[in-house]
C-alpha cells in the first residue's frame, strides 16, 4: 500500500465536506481569543523555522501541533508552572473539566463521523449533529482516559509519563466511527490493529509527520505576523490535517477489513 497515494486520494473526499474544517479553526481561534481576554496577555509564538514532527496530527487537527507553545485555555503545563483556567485540583475545576470533555466529545465525534463518511455518501451538517450525538459517550470515555494522566500531574509531575499509554489507543477513535460495535470491542479492535500493523503505523507516522514538518515552515512565519497570520495558519492546518485524518481512517478501514476477510477465509466452517 502506498501511503502517499492513499493521502492524495483523500483531497477529493475532503473537498466534498470542506465545511468541516471550520470546526478546528473555530476551536483554535476561539480558544486563543478567550485565553488572551481572560489572562489579559497577547500570544507571541516562539520563533522557529523548522520543527521535525513524527506522528499523527490530532482529530480534529489543531495548530498546536505545529506551534507547540500555542496557549491552552483549560490546562497547559511548562517546566516551571501550570497555566490555564485549571491550575489546581478542586471540585469546581473538576466540574469545569468534565463539562469541557462532554462538549468536545460531541464535537470530536461529529467531526470524525463526517470525515469517515466523506466520499462514501452525501454528508450534511445534520449528519454531524446526529452522529456526534450517537458516539459522544464513547469519545467521552476515550477522552477521559487521555485527561487522567494530566490530572495526576497535580499530585506528582512525573505522572505525566502515563499519557504515553494513550499511544496504544491511537486507533480506537477510528474504530468508533468505522466499526459498528460496542465500546469494549472498539478498544479491542483499535489496540489489535496497532499491534498487528506496527510497521504500517511507523511508516504513516514518519510520512505524515514529515509532511506537517514542511507545512510548519510556512505556519511559523505566518504566526509571527499576528492574529491574521495565525488564522491563516489555522486554516492551512485544518485543511491538511483533515486530509491526513481521512487518510489514516481509510487506511484503518481498508486494512482492518482485509484482515477480517483473511481470518474468515482460514476459519473452518462448521
> Coil, strand, or helix at residue 112?
helix
pLDDT at residue 10, rounded to an integer: 95
**Bridge partner list, 118:** 121
Question: What residue spans define the domains of the chain?
Answer: 3-43+50-260
Q: Are 153 and 160 in contact (CB under 8 A)?
A: yes
pLDDT tens digit sequence for 131-178: 999 999 999 999 988 888 777 777 776 666 767 778 899 999 999 999
**pTM (global) more than 0.95:** no
Residue 68's Cβ-count burial label (10 Å; 0-12, 13-18, 19+) is: exposed
Enter the C-alpha cell of residue 114. Answer: 463526517
Peptide bond into 160 cis (omega under 30): no
Q: Quote the Cα angle for 30-105-252, to 5°.
A: 110
Closest C-alpha to 97, from 78, 112, 75 = 75
Q: Are 170 and 245 in contact (CB under 8 A)?
A: no
Q: Are 30 and 179 in contact (CB under 8 A)?
A: no
pLDDT tens digit sequence for 9-61: 999 999 999 999 999 999 999 999 988 888 888 888 876 666 788 889 999 99
Longest dimension (CA), the chain: 70
pLDDT tens digit sequence for 84-134: 677 677 888 788 888 989 999 999 999 999 999 999 999 999 999 999 999
> Coil, strand, or helix at residue 70?
coil
Amino acid at each position: 500500500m502506498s501511503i502517499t497515494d492513499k493521502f492524495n486520494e483523500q483531497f477529493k473526499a475532503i473537498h466534498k465536506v470542506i465545511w468541516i474544517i471550520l470546526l478546528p479553526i473555530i476551536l483554535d481561534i476561539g480558544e486563543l481569543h478567550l485565553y488572551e481576554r481572560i489572562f489579559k496577555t497577547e500570544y507571541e509564538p516562539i520563533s522557529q523555522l523548522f520543527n521535525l514532527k513524527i506522528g499523527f496530527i490530532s482529530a480534529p487537527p489543531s495548530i498546536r501541533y505545529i506551534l507547540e507553545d500555542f496557549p491552552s485555555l483549560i490546562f497547559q503545563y511548562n517546566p516551571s508552572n501550570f497555566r490555564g483556567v485549571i491550575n489546581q485540583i478542586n471540585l469546581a475545576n473538576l466540574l469545569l473539566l468534565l463539562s469541557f470533555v462532554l462538549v468536545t466529545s460531541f464535537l470530536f465525534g461529529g467531526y470524525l463521523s463526517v470525515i469517515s463518511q466523506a466520499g462514501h455518501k452525501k454528508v450534511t451538517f445534520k449528519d454531524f449533529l446526529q452522529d456526534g450525538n450517537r458516539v459522544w459517550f464513547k469519545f467521552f470515555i476515550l477522552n477521559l482516559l487521555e485527561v487522567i494522566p494530566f490530572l495526576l500531574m497535580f499530585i506528582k509531575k512525573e505522572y505525566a509519563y502515563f499519557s504515553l499509554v494513550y499511544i496504544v489507543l491511537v486507533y480506537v477513535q477510528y474504530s468508533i466511527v468505522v466499526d459498528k460495535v460496542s465500546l469494549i470491542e472498539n478498544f479491542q479492535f483499535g489496540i489489535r490493529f496497532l499491534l498487528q500493523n506496527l510497521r504500517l503505523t511507523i511508516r504513516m507516522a514518519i510520512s505524515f509527520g514529515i509532511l506537517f514538518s514542511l507545512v510548519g515552515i510556512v505556519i511559523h512565519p505566518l504566526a509571527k505576523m499576528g492574529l491574521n497570520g495565525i488564522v491563516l495558519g489555522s486554516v492551512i492546518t485544518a485543511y491538511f490535517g483533515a486530509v491526513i485524518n481521512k487518510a489514516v481512517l481509510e487506511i484503518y478501514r481498508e486494512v482492518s477489513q482485509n484482515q477480517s476477510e483473511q481470518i474468515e477465509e482460514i476459519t473452518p466452517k462448521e
